[in-house]
Structure 1
Amino acid sequence: MANFSYVHEPDGSYTLRIAARGREVLTNPLCNFGTAFTRQQRIDLNVNGLLPSNVVTIDQQLKRVYSQYQGESDALAKYVFLNTMQDRNETLFYRLLTEHLEEMLPIVYTPTIGKAIETYSHWYHRPRGIFLSIDDPDGIEPALRSYGHSSEDVDLVVVTDSEGILGIGDQGVGGVAIAVGKLGVYTAAAGIHPSRALPVVLDVGTDNIDLLNDETYLGYRHARVRGARYDEFVDRFVQAIQTMYPHAMIHWEDFGAGNAHRILDKYRDEVCTFNDDIQGTAAVVVAAILAAVRRSGQKLANQRIVVHGAGTAGIGIADLLVQRMVNRGIPREQALSCFYGLGSLGLLRVGVKMRDFQEPYARSAEELAGWELDTPGKVELADVVRNVHPTIMIGTSAQAGAFTQKIVKDVASHCEHPILMPLSNPTRKAEALPADLLEWTDGRALIATGSPFEPVHFNGTTYTIAQANNALVFPGLGLGVAACRASRVSDSMILAAAEAVAKVVTSREPGASLLPRIDKLRAVSARVAIAVAKQAQTDGLATVELANPVQDIHERMWSPDYPKVEVV
C-alpha cells in the first residue's frame, strides 16, 4: 500500500492511515502534524526524538505561525512563507488560511500571486504540482501516476499552459503557481480535500523573451508551440485524465485568448470541464450585475451593456447574461442586441476582423450609419457611450484609465444608477478607480472591481466596493460537481452558481457591497455547491443523487483539523 492514505468516513470525517516511519513522516506535508503529534503517535511512527519534546495543539501552532507570517516584510515574502509552510504541514497551512481568509486571499491568490509567478524560477525551492512537457508527450501518464492516486481519488484537476496569466501574460512554467494557488482556494473556501486535487502545468514553451534569456528559467527554452502539435498534446492530456480519473473535473486556467474558448468548446460536451477565466469570471460578474439591477429597481433585459475588452472574459460575461435573459423568455436576438462589445479594433461590427466567439455581438453597418464619431471609420468607447447611452459598463480591457471622467459623466447623465465595473487586474490596469467613479457620478454609481479596494467615504456615506473575485464561484462549483459527480458542467449550472451568489446579497442600503464579503466565503461556497448540484440533477448530469443536498454538501467540506491516525 502507499505510505499514507486518507479515508473519508461515512460521517464526513477523515482517517489518516500511515505506513511510513521516521523522517519520511515529517517530510510529507499531508501527514506531518509536527509538534502536535501525541507522545504515543511519536513512538508508533518512530519520530520520537525528531521533534521538540513538548506536545502542543493545532491552536497553539496556529498562534506561532500567524505571528511569523505577520513578521514578514512584504506581500511577496508572505507568499513565500505560506508556500514553504504548505510544503511542511498542509493541515496547519489550511487552518491558518481558513481562519484568516479575507486577509490572506490577496496573498495566495490575486494580486500577489502574479508577482510570485513572474519570479517563480528565482524563489523556487521545492516542486509542487505536475509538470507535463510537449517535448515528452509519452510522459503524461507516468507523471500523473507518480502522484499515487487511484481512479476514485481525484475530484479536480486544475491545469494551465501559462499563456494568459492574470494581467501579466505568458509566464512559461511559472504558471504552475496559479494552479497551486487555485487549489488552495478550492480547499480553504469549499473544503475540497487537498489530497483529492491535482495542479498541472502544460509546458509548451514560452514566447516571453525575458524568460528565454533568464539563465535561471526552469521551463523548456523554446518558443511556444502552437497548431496541430499543441492540440494533439492537449487532447492527449484530456484523454489521460479521462482514463485515469474519470470522475475529475478539468479546470482550465489562464489559457490565452486564442485557445481558451476553442478548448472549452471542443471538450465541454465530452468531458466534465470548466474554464474559470470564461465561466467563473462570467458567473461572479453576473452575480454582481443581478444584485445591482435588483437594487436599482430595473430589469436586466432593459439594460444597454457595453463590454470594453470583449475578449475571453468579456464575451464570457456577455454570453452568460444572454443565457439569463433567454431563460427568462427574452428572444436570443433581442438579448444579443443589448450588448456593445469593443475589442482591439474598436466596436465589434460587421466587416471588422474578430474571433469566432465575438461574431454574435457584431453590430451592422446600417445600425451605425447615423452615429456621431470622433474619427470617421473608427468606433471607440467614447463614441459608443455617446450614441448608446449605456446603463452598464464592463471593463475587461486591461487599459488603465479607459473609463475617463468625460465618459463616466456622459453615462451618468443618462442613467440614475450607472453600473460600472472596472474589472481588469492588477490594480494598475483598472479602467478606473472607485473613488473617482463615485465622485464623477455624485455617489450614484453601483460598482464592482476586479482588484480589492478599501471602502470609499463620499458625502457622508461609506461605500464598500464589491470585488468580483472568482473565488466566490469556482470553489463552490467544484464542490457541487464533486458531490453529485456531474458528468458535465452546463451553462445552467454556471448560471445557478451566479444566482446563488447574488441571492446572498440582501442589503439595499446606500454604499452596501454588490457581492458577499470574502470572510463569508465558506458559507457562500456551500450555497453555490448546493445550487450547482441541484441544477446538475435537473439537467440530468448528476450521476450521484443527493438525498439531502444540504447535509451531503456539509459532510463533504473538509475542515483543517488533524485527523484520527491509524498506524499501519
Structure 2
Amino acid sequence: MKSPLEQSMLSPLSPSTGGLTRSRSQVFSDPELFTPSKTNILHDSTYNKGTAFSRDERDKLGLSGLLPYKVETLEDQLRRALRQFRAFTTPIEKYIYLSSLQERNETLFYRLLVENLVETMPIVYTPTVGEACTKLHEVWRSSRGMYISLEDKGRIRRLLDNWSHVPDIIVVTDGSRILGLGDLGCGGMGIPIGKLSLYVAGAGFHPVKTLPVQLDVGTNNQKLRNDDLYLGLNRDRVRGEEFYSFADEFLMAVKDKWPKCLVQFEDFSNDVCFELLEKYRNKLLCFNDDIQGTGAVIVSGFLNAAKVTGIRPKDHKIVFFGAGSASVGVADQIAMVMKLDSDKDGKQVTVDEMRRRMYLVDSKGLVTKSRGGRLEVHKVAYARDDVEEELTSLLEVVKKYKPTALIGLSGQGQTFTEEILSLMAENNEKPIVFALSNPTNNSECSAEQAVKFTKGKCVFASGSPFPDVTYEDKVIKPGQGNNMYIFPGLGLGAVVSESKNVSDLMVLTASQVLADCVTEQDLKKGDIYPSLASIRSISVKIAAAVARQSVKEGLCRLTSIPDDWEQYVKNYVFEPAYAELGDASQLQ
C-alpha cells in the first residue's frame, strides 16, 4: 500500500497535474494527501517554509508563537541565507552550512543553488565535496539516502521498501575511487548526495524523486578503518564474485521495485566499473558518468576546440595522460566523432582506425602490446603495436608523436610541466590542453601555467574551476570541462522519455547539443563551453534532444509521443518556490 504522498508523486508528467511543481501544491492543499501533525512541518525539509508561513497557515498548523512575527518571502530568506553562506571563510564550512540548510528547508536550499550556481557548485560538488568525503565521519550531521552493506545481502529488496518515495533517479557508488582521492569507503556517500543536488539545481529533478545510495562493501583505506569515528563496514573491501553478486542483487531489486528509475554509476574503481556498465546497460536504464558523462562533456569541448584550432576532428592527434575509465570513455567517444567527421568525406573508416590517432600514457608510460605485464582489458583497444622502443614518460611521448591535443585524466597534479607545455606550443599554432583531473590540487596544471608556458597560444579547459588569467594585457577565461554540462540533461532526457536504456547515440547527442550552445562569437574569444549560469536552459535542450534520440532508436516507452519535447521536459522541471497552502481550514 503506497502512502498518500507517494501516490501523489506517481504521475508527475500527467496533464492533470501539469508537472511536479503543481503536484507539490496538491500535496499541500488536499487534506487526504497532507495532514501535518502540528509542528512537524517545521522539521520536514520538503515542506517547511519557516518564516514564510502566512498568518493563516500559522494559525491552522499550530505554528503561531513558534516563529518570529514577520512573515517573509522566499526572496527575504534567500538574502539572509546568502549572507550567512558568504560569512563562512573556508569551503568546508560553507559545505556544512549548505548541508544544514538542505536538511532544514529544501526549497530555500535549491533556490540558493539555482540563482547562484557558479558560486555554490564548487562547494556542493568539486572540489569541496572531495574534502567533505574524506571527513564524512567528522562532519556527519544527519542521514540522507540509503546505505546498503554486505550485511544486508539477501534482503536488499525488502530494504528498498524503507524508502518512502518513488525515485526517478538513483546515483550509486561503492566509494572505491572518489574523484582523485581513492578509496574512501562509506565516506563516498558525499558524491551521490552532491551529484543529485546538481541534478535538481541543473536539470530540475524534484528533490523527493532522487535517491543517493552507498553500497558499503568495506574499504582498504587503513587510515579510515583505524579511526574510531568511521561509520562504515570495517573490513577489507570485497571484490570478485562476492561483489558482483551483491551488486546484482541491488540492481535487480531496483529494477523490480522501480522499473523506470535511472541508475547512475558513480566513482566505482576501474577494476569493476567497465564490467558493471557492460553487464547492465541493456538490462535496465543506467549509465556511468565517469565513463560516458566525462566522455560526452570532453567531446563537446574537443569539437569546439577543434573549431578554434581550424583543424578538423579527424585530423587531430591526441595524447591522453591517464588510462583509466574516464580516459577510455573520452577516447571512445572522440574516436566516434572522428569517424563521423571522416564519413563526411565519403571515407568509410572504422572507430578502431580512429583510435590509431590516440596515444594513452599510464604510470608505466605509453600503453603498448609489447611492454610486458598484464594489460587491463579496457586498455587493449588503445595498446600500440607500432612502437620501436618503449616510451616510459609523458615527455618522451609528446616529443616523439607531436600531438595536437593533450588531455589529462591522470589524477596526478602538476604533471603537465613547463617543458611539456612549451613543446605543445612549439609544435602547434593553437595546442589543445585539457587538464581535467579533480579536485583542483590534482589538476595536471593550472590555467595560469598552461597559458604562460604556451605563450598564450593554448585552448585550455580544466575539470575544476580556475580564476581568469591575464596574459599580455589580455584576460583569458579558462574553460571548465565539467560533467555538470552533460549528466543533468542526459539523465533528464532518459527519464522523461521513459527510455529502456541509455544508448551511445543518446550520449553523443548530448555532446553535440552542448557544443552547439557555444556561439561563433564565443569561439572567437576562445570560449569552448557556455556559461554554467545557463545550465537549466542547456539541460532542457539536451534532454529534449536525448528524448528524441530515444524515440528514434525505439527505446522510448511512452504510449503517446509528445509533439513538443522541450515543453514536455519543462512540464517536468521542479522550480524551487513555495507552494500555496490552499484552504488551511481543511488541515489538521
Q: Which residue of 2 aligns with 1:380?
A: 393
The alignment status of 1:360 with 2:381, answered yes or no, reads yes
Aligned to 2:252: 239
Query: Matches of residues 485-524 of structure 1 in structure 2 within 5 Å?
Result: 485-506=498-519, 507-508=521-522, 511-524=525-538
> Aligned match of 1:200 in 203, 213, 237?
213
Is contact 2:156-2:253 (8 Å) kept? yes
CA distance in 1, matches of 2:301, 2:260: 31
Give the root-mean-square deviation of aligned CA atoms: 1.6
Give CA-to-partner distance per residue, 1:246-276, whole Å, 9 cap, x none. 1111001111111111111111111111111
CA offset at residue 558 of structure 1?
Answer: 0.9
| Aligned 1:161-560 pairs, distance under 5 A | 161-328=174-341, 329=343, 330-351=349-370, 352=372, 353-364=374-385, 367-369=386-388, 377-506=390-519, 507-508=521-522, 511-544=525-558, 545-560=561-576
Which one-letter code corresponds to 2:262 in the other structure? M
In 1, are the aligned partners of 2:425 and 2:455 still within 8 Å (CA)?
no
Contact 2:522 2:528 in 1 (8 A): no
| CA contact 1:131–1:143 (8 Å) conserved in 2 | no
1:39-76: CA deviation from partner (whole Å, max 9, x where unpaired): 22223333333323332111111111111111123111
Residue 508 of structure 1 deviates from its aligned partner by 4.9
Identity %: 36
Q: How far does the alpha carbon of each residue in 1:365-421 deviate from its partner, in whole angstroms, 9 at most, with x for none? A: xx212x6xxxxx443212211221100110011222221122222222221111011
Cα shift at 1:102 = 0.6
Separation in structure 2 between the aligned mates of residue 458 and residue 158 of structure 1, nearest angstrom? 41
Indicate conservation of the 8 Å contact 2:218/2:234, yes or no. yes
Paired residues in the alignment total 557
Partner SS, residue 382 of structure 1: helix
Query: Which range moved further: 140-149 or 392-401?
Result: 140-149
* 8 A Cα contact 2:459 2:526, kept in partner: no
8 A contact 1:293–1:299 mirrored in 2: yes
Shift of 1:3: 6.9
Contact 1:303–1:390 (CA under 8 A) maintained in structure 2:
yes
Identify the residue that residue 77 of structure 1 maps to in structure 2: 93
Counterpart Cα distance in 2 of 1:368 and 1:174: 43
Note the C-alpha offset of 1:141.
Answer: 2.4
Alignment partner, residue 18 of structure 2: 11
Contact kept in structure 2, 1:94 and 1:188, CA below 8 Å: yes
Per the TM alignment, residue 510 of structure 1 is displaced from its structure 2 partner at its CA by 5.3
Cα distance between partner residues in 1 of 2:146 and 2:444:
36
- Alignment partner of 2:135 out of 91, 95, 119: 119
Deviation at 1:120, TM superposition (A): 0.6
Contact 1:2–1:19, Cα closer than 8 Å, also in 2 = no
CA distance in 2, matches of 1:199, 1:381: 38
Q: Which amino acid aligns with 1:58?
A: L
Whole-angstrom CA distance in 2 between matches of 1:312 and 1:183: 21
Structure 1 position 563, deviation (Å): 1.8
Amino acid corresponding to residue 320 of structure 1 in structure 2? Q
* In structure 1, C-alpha distance between the alignment counterparts of 2:525 and 2:270, rounded to whole Å: 35
In 2: Cα distance, 1:68 partner to 1:402 partner? 38
SS at match of 1:393: strand
Residue 27 (structure 1) shift: 1.4
2:168 to 155, 166, 169: 155
Contact 1:4 1:19 in 2 (8 A): no
Query: For the residues of structure 1 that align with 2:48 and 2:564, how far apart are their CA atoms?
Result: 34
Residues 243-252 or 324-333, more deviating: 324-333
Unpaired runs of 5+ residues, structure 2, are 29-33, 344-348
State whether structure 2 residue 151 is matched by structure 1 residue 135: yes
Whether 1:54 aligns to 2:73 is no
Partner of 2:126: 110
**Partner of 2:18: helix, strand, or coil?**
coil
How far off its partner does 1:242 sit?
Answer: 0.2
* CA shift for structure 1 position 306: 0.6
Cα distance in 2 for partners of 1:166, 1:69 equals 25
Please list the CA deviations of residues 99-143 of structure 1 after superposition, one character each: whole Å capped at 9, or x if unmatched.
Answer: 111100000000001111111111111101101011221342233
2:577 corresponds in structure 1 to 561
The verdict on how the C-alpha distance between 1:23 and 1:140 changes in structure 2, with shifts beyond 3 A counting, is farther
2:86 aligned partner, one-letter code = Q
Q: Please give the secondary structure, in 1, of the residue aligned with 2:530.
A: coil
Normalized against structure 2, the TM-score is what? 0.92
Q: How far does residue 512 in structure 1 lie from its aligned partner after superposition? A: 3.1
Matched residue of 1:237: which SS? helix
Deviation at 1:350, TM superposition (A): 0.7
1:524 alignment partner AA: I
- Secondary structure of 1:564's counterpart equals coil
Residues 267-323 of structure 1, C-alpha deviations (whole Å, 9 max, x = no match): 111111111111111111111100000122211110101111011100110011112
Q: Which amino acid aligns with 1:273?
A: C
